[in-house]
């Protein structure tokens, strides 16, 4: 079966880029991205897209109106499509059973019920959202319980592995595409149909097909393993700070072992983003439900270590500033959870800002891509927050700078100029290990970073030079 008409429910960080790339690579397929939010769809149809992702603008502008459409007419999109991606949000439940841990599947269920209500022909329904193992079973039950005569459904699991900031490259050059489905002839035919879409640009050898449950679990497992590496290296960064070892040197030394590999060993202020914490909590909850408490505790440690790292870093900032930040101006450079995105979900910068505000500090914030309104919303519209449009004005008159996101532009700032405008002693806390610490110390800064002791006696610049 060759698919000619695809729709995607959910025009978010996954649905938008994924379907744009499908449209771009498959000019013969009509792709409609549909969302219940009229506002989000209007943004996708405007000059300024709702998300910032390098390379996305070009692809959307090339395909939009040709074979790529953004629509809030969800019913129409479902009616016309042969294959439907469900790419809706699956946040952590915030009420009831499993509160704070289990994935909330209300939007997935809502999408399934909508398909059941509207569909008038056979549909392949593809789980793109990250879901607990066995979620496809629930979707199938809803669809089949509401099945109209003569209509049949196949459910596939096709988790998405893109990372924000590199989404387009990840989609164009995926390490692998994973498709799980039923082991029946109909299930296999549906898998073949979805493979047919990806084969337009992904080599066959990189398209893995499995049973549905392996596919669902692999997504949670991949995120848990990636986050575990970050927590492991962050735990060692604390040992480095206490001993004089340097975490960058340690990461390089262990990463050279091809069995370990160099990626995802960047010690940091802690991982953020909408996925890692949510998906590990989900895995922990599943393990508890399966009566596997030891396995649940094992993965819970990855999150506990991340919380420890965020708290440890923020405490260091406060302690270094003579154990009080009350009334001090502190500049946070970078508010997104990583560079090259405007996304702030679970950003460690939120933790840093809130803790400093609790201690009475006045916060100056600059991020190249995060909207001012988003920062105020993330910090619950608290007092003493000032958002700037560039790093120089944000740091002016501040006692300290805290680097929370590894934006490239922070590496090439004129720190001599920044130093002149700051209160003395001037502190920099580099939570991303991106700056030239030796050069900053030469300028006169007091510098602290992750995973490396940089203790220097405080000597103001004028005392240290013989004039």
Ligand X SMILES: O=c1ccn([C@@H]2O[C@H](COP(=O)(O)OP(=O)(O)O[C@H]3O[C@H](CO)[C@@H](O)[C@H](O)[C@H]3O)[C@@H](O)[C@H]2O)c(=O)[nH]1
Task: Give the binding site for ligand NAD (CB under 6 A).
Answer: 9-15, 34-37, 40, 74, 87-90, 107, 110-111, 114, 129-130, 160, 162, 164, 274-275
The residues annotated as belonging to the active site are: 275
Instruction: Name the maximum alpha-carbon separation found in the chain.
Output: 92
| Residue 220 binds to ligand X (criterion: CB under 6 A) | no
Q: Is 226 in the site for ligand X (CB under 6 A)?
A: yes
| 429 annotated to a ligand binding site | no
How many amino acids of this chain bind ligand X (CB under 6 A)?
A: 20
Query: Does 104 show up as a binding residue in the annotation?
Result: no
Alpha-carbon distances of 27 from 4, 10, 18, 422, rounded to whole Å: 10, 21, 14, 55
Least distance between ligand NAD and beta carbon 52 (Å): 13
298 interacts with ligand X by CB under 6 A? no
| Closest to ligand NAD by CB, 335 or 366 | 335
Residue 215 binds to ligand X (criterion: CB under 6 A): no
Q: Is 205 annotated as a binding residue?
A: no
Is 179 strand, coil or helix? Answer: strand
> Which listed option, ligand NAD, ligand X, none, makes contact with residue 264 (CB within 5 to 8 Å by class)?
ligand X
- Helices 293-320/212-243 angle, 10° precision: 40
Q: What angle do CA 144, 146, 149 make, to 5 degrees?
A: 85
Tell me: does residue 275 bind ligand X (CB under 6 A). yes
For ligand NAD, the closer CB: 170 or 241: 170
Enumerate residues 6+ apart whose C-beta is below 8 A from 463: none
223 makes contact, choosing from ligand X, ligand NAD, none, with CB < 5 to 8 Å by partner type, with: ligand X
* Peptide bond connecting 425 to the previous residue in cis, omega within 30 degrees of 0: yes
110 makes contact, choosing from ligand X, ligand NAD, none, with CB < 5 to 8 Å by partner type, with ligand NAD
Phi, psi values for residue 110, rounded to 5°: -60, -45
* Residues paired with 71 in a beta bridge: 34
User: Which positions from 310 through 349 interact with ligand X, judged by CB under 6 A?
Assistant: 337-338
DSSP 373-418: HHHHHHTTT-SSEEE-SSHHHHHTT-SEEEE-S--HHHHTS-HHHH
Binders in 232-261 for ligand X, by CB under 6 A: none
Q: Which residues are annotated as a binding site for NAD(+)?
A: 10-15, 35, 40, 88-92, 129-130, 164, 275-278, 345
């Amino acid at each position: 079966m060759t698919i000619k008409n695809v729709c995607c429910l959910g025009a978010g960080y996954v649905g938008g880029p994924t379907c744009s790339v499908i449209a771009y690579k498959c000019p013969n397929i009509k792709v409609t991205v549909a969302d219940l939010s009229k506002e989000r769809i209007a943004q996708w149809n405007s000059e300024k897209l709702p998300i910032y992702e390098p390379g996305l603008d070009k692809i959307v502008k090339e395909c939009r109106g040709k074979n790529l459409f953004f629509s809030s007419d969800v019913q129409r999109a479902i009616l016309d499509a042969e294959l439907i991606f469900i790419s809706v949000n699956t946040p952590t439940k915030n009420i009831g059973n499993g509160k704070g841990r289990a994935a909330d599947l209300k939007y997935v269920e809502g999408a399934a019920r909508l398909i059941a209500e509207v569909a008038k022909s056979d549909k392949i329904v593809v789980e793109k959202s990250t879901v607990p193992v066995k979620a496809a079973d629930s979707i199938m039950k809803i669809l089949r319980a509401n099945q109209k005569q003569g209509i049949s459904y196949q459910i596939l699991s096709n988790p998405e592995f893109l990372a924000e900031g590199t989404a387009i490259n990840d989609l164009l050059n995926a390490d692998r595409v994973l498709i799980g489905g039923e082991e029946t002839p109909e299930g296999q035919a549906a898998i073949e149909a979805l493979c047919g879409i990806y084969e337009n640009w992904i080599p066959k050898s990189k398209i893995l097909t499995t049973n549905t449950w392996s596919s669902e679990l692999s997504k949670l497992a991949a995120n848990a393993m990636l986050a575990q590496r970050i927590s492991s290296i962050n735990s060692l960064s604390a040992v480095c700070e206490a001993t004089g070892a340097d975490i960058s040197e340690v990461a390089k030394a262990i990463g050279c072992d091809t069995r370990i590999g160099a990626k995802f060993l960047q010690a940091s202020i802690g991982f953020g983003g909408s996925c890692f914490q949510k998906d590990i909590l989900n895995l922990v909850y599943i393990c508890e439900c399966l009566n596997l408490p030891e396995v649940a505790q094992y993965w819970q440690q990855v999150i506990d270590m991340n919380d420890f790292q965020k708290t440890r870093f923020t405490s260091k900032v406060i302690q270094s500033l003579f154990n009080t930040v009350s009334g001090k101006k502190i500049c946070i450079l970078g508010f997104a959870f990583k560079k090259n995105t405007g996304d702030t979900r679970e950003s460690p910068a939120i933790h840093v800002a809130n803790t400093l505000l609790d201690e009475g500090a006045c916060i100056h914030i600059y991020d190249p891509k995060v909207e001012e309104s988003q920062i105020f919303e993330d910090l619950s519209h608290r007092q003493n927050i000032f958002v700037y449009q560039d790093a120089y004005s944000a740091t002016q008159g501040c006692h300290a700078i805290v680097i929370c996101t590894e934006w490239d532009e922070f590496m090439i700032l004129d720190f001599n100029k920044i130093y002149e405008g700051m209160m003395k002693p001037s502190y920099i806390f580099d939570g991303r290990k991106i700056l030239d610490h030796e050069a900053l110390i030469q300028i006169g800064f007091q510098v602290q970073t992750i995973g490396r002791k940089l203790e220097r006696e405080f000597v103001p610049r004028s005392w240290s030079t013989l004039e």
